[in-house]
Chains A and B, each alone.
Chain A
Amino acid sequence: MVFVTTLLATFPEVVQAAAPVRLTENGTMKFVTAFAGDGSDVLFVEFVKPTLFQIMRLKLDDRSVEPLHGNQADHELDIAVSPDGKYYAFVQCHSTLHGAIEIRDVSQKSIGHVPAGPGFAVYRSLAFAPDNSRLLFTFPENVHRQIFSVSLKGDDRNQLTDTNGINNWPCFSPDGKQIVFASTRDGHYDIYKMQADGTDACRLTSSPTMDLRPQFSPSGLRISFTSNRDGNYEIYVMDSDGGNVQQVTSHPERDDYSVWHPDGKQLLMVSERNGYHDLYLVDAPP
Chain B
Amino acid sequence: MAVIDLGSFRTRTCDGLSRRSFLRLAPSIPLALGLGSPLLGAQPIRAKSVVFVFMWGGPSHLDTFDPKPDAPMEYRGPLATIGTRTPGVAFSELVPMLAQRSNLFTLIRSHQETAPGHPDAGTVALTGYEERPLPVKPNFGSIVAAHRGHHGQLPPFLSLTNGPLADSSRIIEGYGAGTLPKANDPFLVGCSDRGEVDLPNLRLLEGLSPGLVNDRRTLLNRLETDLRRFDTAEIAGWNDTYDAAYRLLTKPEARQAFDVTRESSETRQRYGQTTFGQNALLARRLVEAEVPYIQLNYSRHPEAITTGYELGWDTHILNFELLQDQHCPIFDRAFSAFLDDIYERGLIDDTLIVAMGEFGRTPKINQRASRDHWPRCYFSMWAGAGIEPGRVIGASDRLGEDPVSDPITPLMVGTTIAELAGIDAQARVEMNVLEGGTIIDELL
Q: Is A12 an interface residue (CB 8 A)?
A: no
Q: Given A120-B316, A124-B318, A274-B269, A93–B307 Cβ distance below 8 Å?
A: yes
Q: Is B300 an interface residue (CB 8 A)?
A: yes
- Report whether A97 and B78 are in contact in the complex, using a CB–CB cutoff of 8 Å: no
Cβ contact of A97, chosen from B80, B93, B316, cutoff 8 A: B316
User: CA of A209 to CA of B78 in the docked complex: distance in angstroms?
Assistant: 10
Q: Is B162 an interface residue (CB 8 A)?
A: yes
Most buried by A among B277, B308, B317, B366: B317
Interface string of B81-93 (1 = CB under 8 A from A): 0000000000001
- Report whether A50 and B299 are in contact in the complex, using a CB–CB cutoff of 8 Å: yes
- Report whether A188 and B78 are in contact in the complex, using a CB–CB cutoff of 8 Å: yes
Q: Is B12 an interface residue (CB 8 A)?
A: no
Cβ contact of B307, chosen from A29, A94, A144, cutoff 8 A: A94
Q: Is B369 an interface residue (CB 8 A)?
A: yes
Q: Is A141 an interface residue (CB 8 A)?
A: yes
Which residues of A124-147 have CB atoms within 8 Å of chain B's CB atoms? 124, 140-145
- Report whether B317 and A120 are in contact in the complex, using a CB–CB cutoff of 8 Å: yes
Which residues of B367-416 have CB atoms within 8 Å of chain A's CB atoms? 367-370
- Report whether B275 and A166 are in contact in the complex, using a CB–CB cutoff of 8 Å: no
Cβ contact of B367, chosen from A77, A140, A209, A254, cutoff 8 A: A140
Size bracket, chain A contacts: 35 or more
- Report whether A97 and B271 are in contact in the complex, using a CB–CB cutoff of 8 Å: no
Rounded to whole Å, the gap between the CB of A254 and the closest CB of chain B is 7
- Report whether A96 and B368 are in contact in the complex, using a CB–CB cutoff of 8 Å: no
What chain A residues lie within 8 Å of B316 (beta carbons)? 97, 120
What chain B residues lie within 8 Å of A50 (beta carbons)? 162, 193, 275, 299-300, 310-311
Q: Is B63 an interface residue (CB 8 A)?
A: no
Rounded to whole Å, the gap between the CB of B370 and the closest CB of chain A is 7
Rounded to whole Å, the gap between the CB of B181 and the closest CB of chain A is 32
Q: Is A81 an interface residue (CB 8 A)?
A: no
Q: Is B343 an interface residue (CB 8 A)?
A: no
Interface string of A1-30 (1 = CB under 8 A from B): 000000000000000000000000001110
- Report whether A143 and B93 are in contact in the complex, using a CB–CB cutoff of 8 Å: no
Q: Given A166-B369, A272-B329, A275-B273, A122–B80 Cβ distance below 8 Å?
A: no
User: CA of A231 to CA of B326 in the docked complex: distance in angstroms?
Assistant: 18
- Report whether B369 and A96 are in contact in the complex, using a CB–CB cutoff of 8 Å: no
- Report whether B304 and A97 are in contact in the complex, using a CB–CB cutoff of 8 Å: yes
User: CA of A27 to CA of B269 in the docked complex: distance in angstroms?
Assistant: 10
Rounded to whole Å, the gap between the CB of A272 and the closest CB of chain B is 7
Interface string of B254-293 (1 = CB under 8 A from A): 0000000000000011111111010000000000000000
Q: Is A195 an interface residue (CB 8 A)?
A: no
- Report whether A51 and B309 are in contact in the complex, using a CB–CB cutoff of 8 Å: yes
Q: Is B9 an interface residue (CB 8 A)?
A: no
Q: Is B240 an interface residue (CB 8 A)?
A: no
Q: Is A242 an interface residue (CB 8 A)?
A: no
- Report whether B269 and A275 are in contact in the complex, using a CB–CB cutoff of 8 Å: yes
User: CA of A66 to CA of B269 in the docked complex: distance in angstroms?
Assistant: 25
Which residues of B302-353 have CB atoms within 8 Å of chain A's CB atoms? 303-311, 316-318, 320-321, 324-326, 329-330, 333
Nearest chain A residue, comparing its CB with the CB of B300: A50
Q: Is A73 an interface residue (CB 8 A)?
A: yes
- Report whether B80 and A275 are in contact in the complex, using a CB–CB cutoff of 8 Å: no
Most buried by A among B74, B78, B277, B300: B78
Binding site for B on A (CB under 8 A): 27-29, 31, 47, 50-51, 73-75, 77, 93-97, 99, 119-122, 124, 140-145, 164-166, 168, 184, 187-189, 208-210, 228, 231-232, 254, 272, 274-277
